[in-house]
Every structure is written in C-alpha cells, then in structure tokens.
Structure 1
Amino acid sequence: MSQAADEPRDTTHDGDERTGETGAPFVPADFTIPRGFSDGKIHLVPLGPEHNDRDYRAWTSSMDHIQRTPGFERYGWPVPMTREDNLRDLRRHREDFEHRIGFTYSVLIDEDVIGCVYIYPAGPPGHAVVRSWVREDHAELDERLYELVSEWLRQKWPFRGFTYSPRTEKRDFAAR
C-alpha cells in the first residue's frame, strides 16, 4: 500500500519500472523470489488482497508516524483513502510481485499486520530502493526490522546494492 491505485507509482528509479534504466530485468529470470522470512517473532509474507482489513487498520492508525519514518519523509504517502482504494493498491502490489517488477511484504506478528516492506528497482541495473514502516504502537521494532531486512537482502537477494533509509549511520549497501 504505497499509494492509491490511480496515484503515480514509485518514481525514485530511472527507466521502466519493470526493468530499470537499461532494460535489464529487476531480478534474474531464474531467481526464486523469497516468499518471506521469519526471525521467530517478525514474519514477512507477500502483501496481497487478503491483508486488506489488517493492512488498512495498520497504516491508517499510524499515518503521521509513517510520514516521519526514514524513507517516507518526502514520499507523499500515506494519504487518506478508502478500504476499496487500499484493496486496489494491494492488488497492484500483488501483480508487481507476480510480474517480478517489485516486491512488497506485510510485516506480521501473530498474524497482525504491523508494517510493510517495499523492494523496487532503483538506479543502475541490479540495484533496489527499499522502504519499510511499522505501526506507531510497534515503533520500537523499526530498527530491528531495518537490520533484519538489510541482512536478508544481502544474503538472499541477487542485488548488486540497495538503498534503504538508515535507522543507523549506514546509508547504501553493497550486496556482497
């Protein structure tokens, strides 16, 4: 749920959002997309329409907090929208996932949606921009999620590098 379905998509990268600036695919065709991960408490699963009610409650309860989260300060989301608009947005994220052009994960604790992680192409081929947020009532988990996702991207994804707004002094990461 980055923005309403009729709003523009993430424009932080150059070129076609399916392939990046040179026409190279975002991830190699033979790469198996991770279906998520778990550290025993925090679980990431692909975001989809089945999360609509929980997802809608999560971000609408924390709009000001999300707008202050690193990576969202000048992003222009969240903005008020209806559950139906949110459902369209979740369907778009699912389509992006299925077409391998972007990957959005729900962040769950005990089946409760507490946030999201977005992975989309950025800059040169093989690079990604990553954003994440957690609900205000789980703000203490933001840095932990950042660290978990950063390590997961380095270990399990084929990116040459990624940009993920820091919760610490780190800024850009080389994948390997």
Structure 2
Amino acid sequence: MPFVPDDFAVPRELVTPAFRLEPLGPQYNEADHAAWTSSIGHIRATPGFENRTWPPADGMPITENLSDLERHAKDFAERRGFTFTVLDDTVIGCVYIYPAKDDPQVTRVHSWVTASRAQLDKPLYTAVSAWLAADWPFEKIEYAPR
C-alpha cells in the first residue's frame, strides 16, 4: 500500500509568520547539522524523541548527516515519507512524516526545533497538526502533543 495516493499532490511548503517548511535536502546539510548538533539535549527531551536513538548523543560527522539528508530527499521523491526543514533565516528544526513501521495505516509525525527557538515548539506542533488535517490524506496520525 502506498503511503499517499498516486494522484495526491504532496504539499511543498507551509508558511507561517514565524517559520516556513520546505522539503529537506542536501542543500541544507551545513545548516541542518549545525542546528541539531547545537541542540542534542533539547531535541532528545522534545515530546516524541524521548525513546529514540536520534539525535545521537555524541553527534555525527557532517558527511554522515549528508547521507541522512540524501535519504530523506529520496524518500520524499519516492513518496515513502516526507521530511521538511523548518526555516526562519536559517534551519531551526525539522518535521518528519512517515508511515509507522508496525502499522502502515498510522502516520507518525515527529518535529523538533533548536534550543534557541524552543518557544516555537508548540506553534510548530499546532501549525503542522492543522496542516496535516487540512491538506494531507492521512486518517490516523500519531504526533506527540505539546
């Protein structure tokens, strides 16, 4: 079963007064790496990340980060999952939209913002939740509340 219907036009952005979302890709490698490595403890304490292995406590080389971004871009292009970078004047977070591995009927969403933009965590959650309800075809979404 495909994650989204073949005829579904995948949204390419979400714009709010405080931030915008764009598909994550290799062009954001340096800014993405700087964003999450500056906020590992904060991200690991963000709802939905408490029991995850990412981000790694000791970080990772920027070349490995690039591989991750290339994988996310490929997933997006092949419609297997959708990762968006959260931007203001630079990368300040990410949103991941993927089918649950244990139940493909469930869409799992995770998001984080940098520690320096922690006040945007709830507005990001609120905006993404509304966007998913209005513009995406998912029926069952799991997204840790803020």
Instruction: State the TM-score, normalized to the length of structure 1.
Output: 0.79
Instruction: Please tell me whether residue 116 in structure 1 is matched to residue 94 in structure 2.
Output: yes
SS at the partner of 1:69? coil
TM-superposition CA deviations, 1:13-55 (whole Å, max 9, x none): xxxxxxxxxxx11000000111011013210000000000000
Instruction: Please tell me whether residue 33 in structure 1 is matched to residue 13 in structure 2.
Output: no
- 2 CA distance for matches of 1:88 and 1:125? 25
Letter in 2 for 1:106: T
Gaps (5+ residues) in structure 1? 1-23, 168-176
RMSD: 1.0
Partner in structure 2 of residue 140 of structure 1: 119
The alpha carbon displacement at 1:136 in A equals: 0.2
Q: What is the count of residue pairs matched by the alignment?
A: 143
Partner in structure 2 of residue 86 of structure 1: 65
Higher helix share: 2
Instruction: State the TM-score, normalized to the length of structure 2.
Output: 0.95
Gaps (5+ residues) in structure 2? none
Structure 1 stretches of 4+ with a deviation exceeding 4 A read 123-126
1:45-60 → structure 2 map (5 Å cutoff): 45-60=22-37
The alpha carbon displacement at 1:126 in A equals: 4.2
- 1 CA distance for matches of 2:18 and 2:43? 21
